[in-house]
Structure 1
Amino acid sequence: MRIALGQLESGTDIQANLAVMDRFAAEASRGGAGLVAFPEYATYEKKKVDATFPEVAEPLDGPVCQELAATARRHRIALVAGVVETSEDPGKAYNTLVAYGPDGGRLAFYRKIHLFDAQGFGESTFIKPGASTSPVVFEHGGVRFGLMTCYDLRFPELARSLADAGGHVLLVCSSWVPGTHKTEQWLALNAARAIENSVYVAGVCQAPPVSVGRSVLVDPMGVVELDLGLDAGVRTVDVSLETVARVRESFPMFRQRRLQ
């Protein structure tokens, strides 16, 4: 199956962000991709999360998500993107990934559970963590995709739970905060999650300056099959269930694992 990574430089103009995603989805579809993944906070982003995030938040059946569903339907491609979702708390929003099929129907959604309260950031001041820690996996084109968001990448148990739930490709939709050694950590952690779970990891990130860019597709052996560098853009790459099966047979960790 061919998938696409759409590296964005999202800002506060929601309609402009949606227009870029529509253009990238069209390009991905023309390139033969069956799914396009966009970063965390794809529809609304700033250098730091602030009070405007809950102000612009919408429910998953609101206009922003309706437009994302329309983009998927218009270009006949599955689409995953980060949105700012209304929560039960008027002062906070959910940081949510939503997935749509080529018919525009919603396949899954995931509310980020590990909020970025580190490096002087306080995401939890304005964002509410998802209540459920159950792995979110959906199937499209015979491939099972697991959903993770940014800081989740530092918590290996979530990636393992997605692999245990049948995931072949982990979509790590991110806006990885820049800093000392942060790009090196981003690349290393994407590779580590791929190797230790015998899965593909598609780490799709916001571009600089708000984030580090370097959206990557890492195969189950830790080989980087695609790297988008620092500029916004969309690229396609193939994933193979046969490769996943072959690596899991060579390194049968799921059979050999001892939990007690």
Structure 2
Amino acid sequence: MTSRTLRIGLTQWHATTDVEANVATAVRCIERAAEGGAAVVALPENGLMLGTNSEMRAAASGVDGDPVRSLRDAARRFGVVVVLGGMKNTTDDGVFNSALVIDASGEIAGRYDKLHLFDANIGGQSFEASSVEKPGSELVVVDVDGVRLGLTICYDVRFPEVARALAVAGAEVILVPAAFVYATGEAHWHTLLRARAIENLAYVVAPATVRSADPEYTDGFTTYGHALAVGPWGSVLADLGDATEAVEVLELDMAEVEAARAKLPVLGGRRDPSVYASQPRVLSVASSRSVAGGSAKEGAA
């Protein structure tokens, strides 16, 4: 086993429609993580602007806009890799929800566009992400100092095939930056993130936005917080709770991933992809109730 480690900054804050204030918070969190020895700082989805669909559409900007320039400057000043977990990114091909990877020299090293758009109705509130953005079309893995990070965004966590494909491609850490709706977060957040870690025997690091501490404050939608880091055996390593601004630096030891995958070699045990893509056979079997009711065919086995 190797002795590869990665120090990563897990962040959380209350994002609003005030882009300038949100950017200042992001830069502050980057600085705090760098002071704690982080090599990578993971920022949440929609951390630079969180409001209604129309507000977020109006505030969409490109990677050459002032918010991203501020993050690039912070990455360069503090000498860290910054992963902006998701922004409404205006491109020649339309608006995408893009995670940006900014290297320690301040250059944009890569981008992942969110594959799965959150079109849902929760508690009577409609979330129609497809009215704002377009879906991406490819997976992305980033190598940082020999450690591979798989990029996802929020709703992608409900599609386990994404994390599995990233793990098969060598990802040892899966990032799940999020602005998770409070109602679904309370019910599903911890379970989903621990499941993705356990299934793939990988670290899962999930920075998050969180609702305001002020009960009178209302915004586009209320988010759950609880930025989380999970180990490859499923243990919760950090949970930032409902803190409205928080940073925790964790040292992730890739020997833990190697050890877990040696114990349970599930990635190597996968069958040929054609097996999973095949159409399942559907069997019709009579229950005792249907037989007693005379609905089963006579002589059926």
Determine if the TM-score, normalized by the shorter chain, exceeds 0.5.
yes
Alignment of 1:241 with 2:254, yes or no, is: yes
Unaligned runs of 5+ in 1: none
Shift of 1:62: 2.3
The one of 133, 143, 162 aligned to 1:127: 133
Query: What is the CA distance between 1:121 and its match in structure 2?
Result: 1.4
- The structure 2 residue matched to 1:146, chosen from 117, 129, 150, is 150
Q: What residue is the counterpart of 1:111 in the other structure?
A: 113
Residue identity in the other structure for 2:182: P
Aligned with 1:93 (options 95, 99, 116): 95
The equivalent residue for 1:254 is: 267
Matching residue of 2:16: 11
Identity %: 36
Q: Does 1:51 align with 2:54?
A: yes
- Whether 1:229 aligns to 2:234 is no
Kept in 1, the 8 Å contact 2:88–2:133? The answer is no
* CA RMSD after TM alignment: 1.4
Q: Give the secondary-structure state (helix, strand or coil) at the position aligned to 2:174.
A: strand
SS of the equivalent of 1:202 reads strand
- Which stretch shows the higher mean deviation, 210-219 or 50-59? 50-59
Instruction: Structure 2: give runs of 5+ residues left out of the alignment.
Output: 1-5, 213-221, 276-301
5 Å-filtered alignment, 1:143-182, equals 143-179=147-183, 182=185
- 2: CA distance between counterparts of 1:214 and 1:79? 20
Partner of residue 7, structure 2: 2
Deviations 1:159-204 (A, max 9, x none): 111111211111101000111x532311000000001011100111
SS of 2:127's equivalent in the other structure is coil
2:224 matched to 1:212?
yes
For these two proteins, the number of residue pairs brought into alignment is: 253
> Contact 1:53–1:93 (CA<8 Å) still a contact in 2?
no
Q: 1:87 to 1:51 in 2, by over 3 A?
A: farther
1:15: how far off?
1.2
Pair 1:188-2:194 in alignment: no
How far has the Cα of 1:139 moved from its partner? Answer: 1.2
C-alpha separation in 1, matches of 2:185 and 2:70: 33
Which TM-score applies when normalising by structure 2?
Answer: 0.81
> Could you say which structure has the larger radius of gyration?
2
| Equivalent residue, structure 1, for 2:87 | 83
